[in-house]
Homo-oligomer: A and B are copies of this chain.
Amino acid sequence: MSARKSPSPPPASPRPRTAADSRGHTDATTPGAARREAENAKARAKIINAARKLFVKRGFEAVSMRDIAKAAGYTPGALYVHFADKLQLIHAMMQQDFRAFDDATTNVMQIADPVERLRQLAYGYVRFALAHPHHYRLMFMTEPPDFAVANERDDNCMFADSDREGYNACRHTVADCIAQKRFLPRFNDAETVAQMCWGCVHGVVSLYITHGKMPWARFTDPLHSALLAIDTHMSGLTGTPIGESTTGGPR
State whether A198 touches B192 (Cβ < 8 A).
no
Our pick among B4, B217, B226 for the contact of A61 (Cβ within 8 Å) is B4
**Can you list 19 residue pairs at the A/B interface with Cβ under 8 Å?**
A4-B61, A147-B213, A163-B216, A171-B217, A186-B243, A189-B220, A191-B219, A195-B208, A195-B225, A196-B232, A198-B207, A199-B202, A199-B204, A203-B203, A203-B206, A235-B236, A235-B239, A236-B241, A236-B242
How many copies make up the complex?
2
Judged by a CB distance under 8 angstroms, whether A214 is at the interface is yes
State whether A236 touches B226 (Cβ < 8 A).
no
Our pick among B147, B185, B205 for the contact of A214 (Cβ within 8 Å) is B147
Question: What residue of chain B has the Cβ atom nearest to residue A246's Cβ?
Answer: B186
- Using Cβ atoms and an 8 Å threshold, which residues of chain B touch A62? 3-5
Question: What residue of chain B has the Cβ atom nearest to residue A143's Cβ?
Answer: B210
Judged by a CB distance under 8 angstroms, whether A27 is at the interface is no
Give the Cβ gap from A170 to chain B, nearest Cβ, in Å. Answer: 10
Question: What residue of chain B has the Cβ atom nearest to residue A232's Cβ?
Answer: B236
Give the Cβ gap from A76 to chain B, nearest Cβ, in Å. Answer: 16
Mark out the residues of chain A between 178 and 203 whose CB falls within 8 Å of any chain B CB in the assembled complex.
184-187, 189, 191-192, 195-196, 198-203
What's the interface size class on A, roughly? 35 or more
Our pick among B167, B196, B207 for the contact of A202 (Cβ within 8 Å) is B207
Q: A5-B62, A191-B220 are in contact. Are A186 and B242 (CB under 8 A)?
A: yes
Give the Cβ gap from A115 to chain B, nearest Cβ, in Å. Answer: 14
Q: A5-B62, A198-B207, A225-B195 are in contact. Are A186 and B147 (CB under 8 A)?
A: no
Judged by a CB distance under 8 angstroms, whether A59 is at the interface is yes
In angstroms, Cα B185 to Cα A239, docked, is 17
